[in-house]
Amino acid sequence: MQYIPGLAGVPATESKISFIDGQKGLLTYRGYDIQELAEHSSFEETTLLLLFGELPTSDELARFEDQLRNNRRVKYNIREIMKNLPQTTHPMHMLQVVVASLASFYPSTEYMKGATENQDYINDVTVKIIAHMGTLVAMWEHMRNGYDPIEPRTDLTYAENFLYMVTGEEPDKNWARLLDAILILHAEHTINASTFTTMVTGSTLANPCSVISSAIASLSGPLHGGANQKVIEMLEEIGEPENARAYIEERLKNKKVIWGMGHREYKTKDPRATILQKLSSSLLEGKSEELSTAFKTALEVEKICEELLGHKGVYPNVDFYSGILYQEMGFDVGIFTPIFAVARSAGWMAHWREQLQNNKIFRPTQVYTGAGKSCYLPVHLRGKGSAKELM
Ligand SMILES: CC(C)(COP(=O)(O)OP(=O)(O)OC[C@H]1O[C@@H](n2cnc3c(N)ncnc32)[C@H](O)[C@@H]1OP(=O)(O)O)[C@@H](O)C(=O)NCCC(=O)NCCS
C-alpha cells in the first residue's frame, strides 16, 4: 500500500457538481464557466444550479428566493446562545457553535433514524442553513461589539441583506452586485478540505447542521479559508510596495508560506483570483491613496512571487484578492473567512445531498508505522524512560 500525504491526487468520490482544470486555470459549476456565472448570475441562482444541476426557470428561482428571504430570521433562543458567548469569540467559532446548535432547533427524528430519503426535510434544512448563515455572521458583527443585531429584511437579495445587516445602511447596488459576484466565486470548489469534511461527516448520516458545523471548522484554518485574513495582515505588515521583495525573500528563506499563494489543484493562477483582481482594479480606480496601497503592494507581491515561486506552480489563489475587496467594503478582517463560509454553504449542501444519494461511510485505511507487539509490564516494574516520563 502506498501512502499519499494529504491524499493529493487521490479521488475521494465521483461528483457532478464542479470541475477544475488546474493546468488551464479553469473552474466550472455544473458545466458553466465561473467567469460567466460571476458576470451574469446571482448567488441565489448559482446555489440552485449547484443543488439541482440545472439553471432554474424564473418561477423556480422566485420560489427559492422567497424561501431564503423567509428563513433569514433566527429564533430568540439562538440569539440567546450567541449572547452568552464571550464577545471575543472569533466569528468562525461563533458560526461553528451556532450552526451546530440549529440541529436542536430544527431536529428530524426521522432523519436521525436514517430515513435519508425524506426530501422535504432535506430541502427545508438546506434552505434554513443557507439562509441563516448570512444572518448569523451579520448579527455577530454587532453583538461582538456590544450592540443589538440588526433585523434581516425580506425585500432584499441575499447579498443586499447581508450588506444591510452588517452596515445598518441602505445597501449600495454596486457594492451588493460585487458581493454577489464574490459569493458566486466562493460557492463551490470540488473536493477541498471543508467539502471533504462535509462528505465524511455526512457519510455517517449525522444531522446536516452538525455536518455543516464540521465543515466550518475545517474552513477556519489558515491553510484553507482562514488565508484571506492572513493575506490582509501580511499586506499591512509589508506596507509600501517597495518593502515587498525583502519581506518575501526573508519568509522564503525561513521556509514560511506566502499567504494567498499556491493551491493543490492549480498550477497556474486561480481563475477566481483573476476575476477578483479585475474587480479590485475597476473598483479601486480613483480611490484614496491609503486604500490603494494594499492593492499596489498585492500586485508587487504577485510579481515577485511569480519570479520566485512560479517554477513550482505557485500563483495567487482566491484568497489573495478577496481580502482587499472586503476591506474596501468596510468589513472587519474577522468576518473575511465567515463570508467565505456563507458562500461555501451552497457547495457544502450540494455535496451533502450528492453524498446521501449514493452513501457509503468513509473509512479509509492506514499504513501502520508504530511499535511491534509489546509485552505489558505492571507499573512498579517499569524503569526510567517509560511513557510517563515522556509526557
Ligand atoms: C494551499 C497549500 C496548502 C497547498 O499545499 P500543497 O498542495 O500541499 O503544496 P506543497 O506544500 O506541496 O507545495 C509545493 C511546493 O510549493 C511551495 N509552496 C506552496 N505554497 C507556497 C506558498 N504559499 N508560499 C511559499 N511556498 C509555497 C512549497 O513549499 C513546496 O515547495 P518544495 O517543493 O520546494 O518543498 C499551500 O500552497 C499553502 O500553504 N498556501 C498558503 C495558504 C493559502 O493561501 N491557503 C489558501 C488556499 S485556497
Q: Where are the domains of the chain?
A: 17-223+335-357, 227-328
Q: How far is the CA of 289 from the centre of ligand 1 (A)?
A: 32
Count of Cβ atoms closer than 10 Å to residue 229 Cβ:
25
Q: Which atom of ligand 1 is nearest to the CA of 270?
A: 48
**What pLDDT is stored for residue 289 in this prediction?**
59
Residue 214 contacts residue 196 (beta carbons within 8 Å): no
C-alpha grid cell, residue 42:
446571482
Ligand 1 pocket test, pick from 314, 318, 344 with the greatest ligand atom count within 8 Å of Cβ, gives 314
Task: Find out if CATH 1.10.580.10 is the number for domain 17-223+335-357.
Answer: yes
The residue contributing the CA closest to ligand 1 atom 40 is 262
Q: HSE-up of 383 (CA within 13 Å, CB side)?
A: 0
pLDDT at 36 over 80: yes
What average pLDDT does range 33-52 have in this prediction? 96
In the block, cell 440567546 appears at 80
* Verdict on whether the full-model pTM lies above 0.85: yes
Question: Which CATH number is 227-328 given?
Answer: 1.10.230.10
pLDDT at 385 over 70: no
Our measurement of the distance from residue 124's CA atom to the centroid of its chain's CA atoms, rounded to an integer in Å, reads 22
Instruction: Give the single-character DSSP code of 267.
Output: S
The residue contributing the CA closest to ligand 1 atom 33 is 312
Residue 346 contacts residue 43 (beta carbons within 8 Å): yes
The residue contributing the CA closest to ligand 1 atom 9 is 264
Widest Cα–Cα separation across the chain: 77
The residue contributing the CA closest to ligand 1 atom 20 is 262
What average pLDDT does range 158-177 have in this prediction? 94
In the block, cell 488565508 appears at 227
Percent of the chain residues past pLDDT 70, beyond the cut: 94
Q: How far is the CA of 257 from the centre of ligand 1 (A)?
A: 7
17-223+335-357 matches 227-328 in fold: no
What average pLDDT does range 180-196 have in this prediction? 97
Q: Which atom of ligand 1 is nearest to the CA of 320?
A: 44
Catalytic (active-site) positions: 263, 319
Residue list, ligand 1 pocket, CB within 6 Å:
6, 223-224, 227, 257-264, 309, 312, 314, 317-319
C-alpha grid cell, residue 194:
471543508
Question: Quick one: angle between helices 158-167 and 119-143, nearest 10?
Answer: 30
Return the closest-CA partner of residue 258 out of 197, 207, 302, 307. Answer: 302
Q: Is 138 exposed, middle or buried (0-12, 13-18, 19+ CB in 10 A)?
A: buried
Confidence of residue 290 (pLDDT cuts 50, 70, 90): low
Q: How far is the CA of 352 from the centre of ligand 1 (A)?
A: 28
